[in-house]
Structure 1
Amino acid sequence: MKKLLLGAGALLLSLNLQAAQDPEAVYAKACSACHSGNLPTAPKRGDKAAWEPRLAKGTDVLVQSVTNGLNAMPPGGLCMDCTAEDYQAVIKLMSE
């Protein structure tokens, strides 16, 4: 029984470590510096017209662009602890 409880505890801990970050928090700490209008080439949060051609490329392409960097955006987009899931969530947040 102890082994089962230890195994379940370890599983829950590992799931918590891989949980996505809050998109609002990621935006505030890493994305808003450029995507709030400070960098003219970065699409602003909520600017659907600016995000439309980017979204047309597909989420996987956008996540790859953030991961690798694109134009003025550095690799990781200033979020060094973000996962692909985090990037997807914050892209969704900014593009709505």
Structure 2
Amino acid sequence: MLASLTLAGCGDADGPADASGADASGESASREPAEIYAQYCVNCHGTGMAGAPMVGPEHRLIWSEEIEEEGFPTLVKIAIEGQNGMPPRGTCFDCSDEEIEATVLYMLKESGAK
């Protein structure tokens, strides 16, 4: 099942280039998880591209099984580091670890994972 988390290049190639996570003023710019999901994650997790587990209540069992088998910290680690075809940070290279973690949690909640 973990293999279903792996995908290639599904993020937004036109996203911000500043890898520091800071805005133009140098301040850390925290974005809402829904915004990050809509810009970077939905391309694969909204369509099932490359076997990505889809997000939504109808996919609750898949996400619940992932949590049970792998655990939340492992899912976050995969989202941050990438694995197999899943690109690191889903190509959101300026997302902080905290933003990635919040976005994974958002995806799980949107799917009703237990």
**TM-score using structure 2 length:** 0.62
| 2:62 pairs with one of 50, 65, 69 | 50
Q: Which moved more, 1:65-74 or 1:25-34?
A: 65-74
**Number of the residue aligned with 2:112:** none
- Are the equivalent residues in 2 in contact too, given 1:69–1:77 (CA < 8 A)? yes
Q: Which moved more, 1:52-61 or 1:42-51?
A: 52-61
- Are the equivalent residues in 2 in contact too, given 1:44–1:94 (CA < 8 A)? no
Number of equivalent positions = 82
Counterpart amino acid of residue 67 in structure 1: I
Larger Rg: 1
Counterpart amino acid of residue 91 in structure 1: V
| 1:22 pairs with one of 23, 28, 32 | 32
Work out the percentage of aligned pairs sharing the same amino acid.
Answer: 32
**Number of the residue aligned with 1:91:** 104
**Higher RCO (C-alpha under 8 Å, 6+ residues apart):** 2
**TM-score using structure 1 length:** 0.71
CA-CA distance at 1:59 after TM superposition: 2.0
Q: Please, which runs of 5 or more residues in structure 2 have no aligned partner?
A: 1-24, 110-114
Question: Does structure 1 residue 73 correspond to structure 2 residue 86?
Answer: yes
CA-based RMSD of the aligned residues comes to 2.0
